[in-house]
Structure 1
Amino acid sequence: MARASSSWAVLLLAFVINTNRAAATYTWPNPDIDLLESIFYQHNGFRQFGLAFGVSPCNNMANTLETGRDDSAEWFRTAYHDMATADVESGIGGIDASIGFETERTENKGKAFNESVGFFLAFQSSRSSMADVIALAAALTVGSCSNGEVIVPFRGGRQDALEAGPTGVPQPEEDLDSHTAAFARQGFNVSEMIGLVACGHTIGGVHGENFPEIVDVVDDMDNQASRQNFDESFDNFDNSVATQFVANTSQNPLAFGRNETTRSDFRIFNADGGDLIRRMAESQRFFWDTCATLLERMLNTVPKGVQLTDVIEPIAVKPNNLFITVNSNGTQTVSGEVRIMEDGATSTNREVLIHLRGRDNEDVPSSPIAAQTGEGYECLSYYNNMPNFTTYHFTTTVSTAVGVSSFDVQIKDENSDVTNTNGGQGFPWQDALLVQPAESCTSRESIDTRSNNTVKAVAAVRDDMEFELVQLVVPKPVNMIGTYAVRFEEAAVDMKKVKTLGNSGYSLYEASFSFLVIAVGPMKTFDLVAKGPKGTIENNFTRWADVGSC
């Protein structure tokens, strides 16, 4: 117990160091959180990201080739096993995606880890680490399986390990002293160990194909993984695992299984004389609140030196897909989207107006621009207590002599009229270095188990900026031995001027870059960077999916 108490104090200190930033009002853009916010909150519909789909409903399974398995339990297990080797006193380990390198260990049996990381790869990018995606997936799992009763606050900023970490995931056959020591190393005392195990074992079960010494292997086409569930509501994040244990009616194979040696849940739940598990059984709300607290701490356990962001809240008004196409006749076609979080006050005659400013910080002649929406522009949550969004799109034409510098978003409803000024500075929008979406394109060619990926970027560059260097910068994904996750290496290619765009005051620059990656690879993006005597301009994080195909 002394070690548990000491570790708990260290974890509290680490938690404060890693998460306690001064709360700040959100200002767009924020590269640390913008993408993670979209992945976490945009569930189903327009501009959905799709990660939440994997656990919605709770018994969903992306791998439909084998029955008796659920993504929800496997994603949660992946997050815990990634964290479980942490040593909070030394600052080693935590959620860092090292689990991808550790799947051959006997402490990480089963297909869950490789298949989960393989699924998560589509959401990994230069702004969303695999470790962050693992934590996101666990938070989405709990939200979906509790129908929004447990929303684990999510922070970003985790960093990916480049190699395996230490061993040390608790195993069912270990005795109570070993488990107590392992959880103390992770930063959890005895009571917290009991709570975390109960929270983790309220969904899913034990698979006989991985643990035949614990549960029987069955010949059942509806249960090919030979799963024996932890409780009767295995696809619902509720306190049944506790109520059935206390009532002595549990089917939990780790509590009352045929192998007494592997009854780890029985030993853990009784480690305090059965007090906490009884309280979790008596109150569903107490169970949920306990889990929310413990799971937030679990997901925020990170290696020493990693600085997590503030809690990522849904953003009320958020621009997206902003593009300016320069025309040879001296005009710019300005287009974009604004995602608005619904608050229940939307009227049928809502107006969304874009107040667009030129380089002189004055409204352009066509301002305000009426943004439009319609059927199919909603993005809805899969479960309760999460936001819904509506996207409004706009387009206008501006003289290149006037240009663009920023905009405000005015929302007029029946009983309200609010203008969002992004903290008073407007939503910034530079027009010196512009991706030309209609002329830029990407391609992918399959070569055995790999794919050759090519991006052709075309940029309109304002001549009066006198840039001396214009570059295409690609976060190149690099496969690593032993994991499905990738690391990113920044590759820069000089862009060449290909023509002047009439009397527009702009010239077109072009460059291409290719790389090989196993299978389809992660989320792909590119940046533009221009440097000259008047300064450096960046146009960052254009997703390959937002330009056409070559």
Structure 2
Amino acid sequence: MGQTSSIAASLCIALAIMQNCPSVVAYTWPDPQIDLLESIRFQQNGFRQYGLAFGVVPCHSMANMQETGRSDSAEWFRTAYHDMATADVQAGTGGIDSSIAFETDREENKGKAFNESIGFFVAFHSARSSMADMVALGALFSVESCSNGEVMIPFRGGRQDVTEAGPLGVPQPQEGLDSHTAAFARQGFNTTEMIGLVACGHSIGGVHGSNFPEIVDVVDDIDNQASRHDFDETFDNFDNSVATQFVANNSQNPLAFGHNETTRSDFRIFNADGGDLIRKMAESQQFFWDTCSTLLERMLNTVPANVKLTEVIQPIPVKPNNLFIAVNRNGTMTISGEVRIIEDGTTSADREVTIHLKSRTGEPISIDPVVATTHEELQVHGYYKNIPSFSSYLFSTKAVSTNTGISSFDIEIKDGDNVTMHQNNGQGYPLQDALLVQKEGTCTRQAFIGRDSNNTLEVTAAVRDDMAFESVQLWVPKPVNMIGSLSSRFEPTAVEMTKTESLNGTGYSLYTGSFWFMINSVGPMKTFDLVADGPNGMVQNNFTKWADVPICKST
């Protein structure tokens, strides 16, 4: 891609606990499997933030403030484990597949945690970001936030959502050691790994008397309405206190030394190897973190055998975003967008970012330099250590003729005397100018009828006449409510667009189409595609977010 060595080196240092840094160099934009997930993973706070991590910052925070004594971090972790816990690795079934959304009425899944977690994740669920991936990211963010970035879990995407409940099988506190050992073996973890995974999971949070009055007492406390009894004295810090207190025999963990001997599952599990691993975890904070990072990565990567996860998703050093081409009636094209650049500590105060456009035939376009600019409000940061920061640079030009067109661009970054040309692994950053979303004439609206929302999309497309398309379609991944779940599934739906006008002198015509749907919620992330087909082939303009086009004006 042509990165400077300083960017690549700092990236590996900043995320040293993650592996496969060389894979960053091999990345070619766009990659529909990882681009959105990379943004959700790393764009935590600031310009174009995705905000999923916000739910667990600080570690003790709770999005639903209507009940005290709860924390999203512990509940998101619990949601991921319970989703995974019914896996059968030998059979190749189950794992993190969002089946938990259908299983919240089971005795083994007591409490509000699961539905409320899924309800939070819905906003980040899309045709390119499965609910299962959000469940995994939720647990990952919990551990990273609660350890202030000391534990960084490599994240892979590509999990697939199921549309029905899975089998029973989440281990419960009243079960004996043999039952727990068999359950974890079914999930792919041996006895030692079971001990470690339970210790890691019980580093944050506690047991709620509102859900388990047989384990802990229900208290009358306005500041602890859930009657939470913490696993250790640092319930909102992902550390080895759960191990040190257990080994010191002064643990407050109700699953280790609670009044109900039947439900002392942690005591039985931690002693399953004679107490060897839990002692090692107590003796070294770093050993605890390293053990947890390895085990939790495996837990999050437990998926059905037919699911292939991506490579570890690394932060992309130079990444285009929000690109639009508009056809103007005077025969020019407005090309606009953003370039997100990682901050590696070497940025000069007078950094210059220039966009070099290439014509439809691949030749450099001779126009004044297209300069991209930034300011403080265009920065995005992480909430904790080891998450990189980025700055976005905006650009726009109207100087390109529709006869010239555009096929790609290169990005030149000048930091003092250091000049680097980024060419996307020699391919340029691609743009197609045959099928375009015209922001002017495209809009969305949302109206609420009780708990239902009516979502409407109106799209205007500019279509190049010389392509002689026989069909121009608007495709919408329509979110559909599912019985027994707060999650949704996506139902790809096509609408034929209608030619409404020829733009004389431009070589383009305008097509329009509209789509609407009802859903019982605000709904997940909404997107749309344009697809055109004809004798010269098929062209697609994919994954435009509804949020990136204007809101329809009131009529």
On whether the aligned pair clears a TM of 0.5, the verdict is yes
Which residue pairs with 1:462 in the alignment? 464
Is the contact made by 1:354 and 1:367 (CA closer than 8 Å) also made in structure 2?
no
Shift of 1:501: 1.5
The answer on whether the counterparts of 1:356 and 1:368 sit within 8 Å (CA) in structure 2 is no
Cα distance in 1 between the residues matched to 2:322 and 2:368: 19
Tell me which residue corresponds to 1:356: 357
**Partner Cα distance (1:211, 1:523) in 2:** 35
Counterpart in the other structure of 1:232:
233
Q: Partners of 2:476 and 2:452 in 1: how far apart?
A: 18
Q: Which residue of 2 aligns with 1:5?
A: none
Q: Does 1:532 align with 2:534?
A: yes
Tell me the C-alpha RMSD between the 2 structures.
1.3
Structure 2: gaps of 5 or more residues: 1-18
| Deviation of 1:448 (Å) | 2.2
Within 5 A, what are the aligned runs for 1:118-133?
Answer: 118-133=119-134
Paired letter, 1:41: F
Query: Matched residue of 1:549: which SS?
Result: coil
Partner letter of residue 51 of structure 1?
L
Q: Distance in 1 between matches of 2:417 and 2:365?
A: 28
Matched residue pairs, number? 531
After superposition, the C-alpha distances for 1:12-69 in whole angstroms (9 at most, x for unaligned) are xxxxxxx99x968111000000000000100000000010100111111100111100
Partner AA of 1:505 in structure 2: G
The amino acid that maps onto 1:547 is: V
Q: Is the counterpart of residue 450 in structure 1 residue 452 in structure 2?
A: yes
What is the match of residue 51 of structure 1?
Answer: 52
Match of 1:4 in 2: none
Q: Which residue of 2 aligns with 1:521?
A: 523
Which residue of structure 2 lines up, in the alignment, with residue 313 of structure 1? 314
Q: Alpha-carbon deviations, 1:331-383, whole Å to 9, x = none? A: 01110000001111101011111111111212222253110001200000000
CA displacement at 1:121 relative to structure 2: 0.6
CA distance in 2, matches of 1:367, 1:43: 35
Show the counterpart of 1:276. Answer: 277
Alignment equivalent of 2:443, drawn from 437, 441, 444: 441
Single out whichever of 361-370 and 388-397 deviates more from structure 2: 361-370
Which segment drifts farther, 82-91 or 408-417? Answer: 408-417
Query: Secondary structure in 1 aligned to 2:224?
Result: coil
Query: Once the 2 structures are TM-superposed, how far is the Cα of residue 386 of structure 1 from its aligned partner?
Result: 1.0
Alpha carbons 1:468, 1:530 under 8 Å: kept: yes
- Runs (4 or more) in structure 1 with deviation over 2 Å come to 365-368
Counterpart contact for 1:366–1:396, Cα < 8 Å: no
Measure the CA separation in 2 of the matches of 1:251 and 1:361.
68
- Show the 5 A alignment for 1:89-488: 89-366=90-367, 368-397=369-398, 398-488=400-490
AA aligned opposite 2:238: F
- The normalised TM-score by structure 1 is 0.95
Answer yes or no: is the 8 Å Cα contact 1:355–1:367 preserved in 2: no
Note if contact 1:82-1:96 (Cα within 8 Å) is conserved in structure 2: yes
The CA deviation at 1:415 is 4.4
Q: Distance in 1 between matches of 2:181 and 2:366?
A: 69
Residue in 2 that maps onto 1:66: 67
Matches of 1:396 and 1:153, distance apart in 2: 39
| Higher mean displacement: 395-404 or 110-119 | 395-404
Distance in 2 between residues matched to 1:437 and 1:234, nearest whole Å:
49
Measure, in 1, the Cα distance between the counterparts of 2:543 and 2:123.
Answer: 16
Contact 1:214 1:262 in 2 (8 A): yes
CA contact (8 A) 1:170 1:182 kept: yes
Shift of residue 469, structure 1, vs aligned partner: 0.4
In 1, Cα distance between equivalents of 2:396 and 2:551: 23
Distance 2:240 2:390 in 1: 32
Cα distance between partner residues in 1 of 2:419 and 2:331 = 35
Deviations 1:413-450 (A, max 9, x none): 12421111101000000011000113200111112221
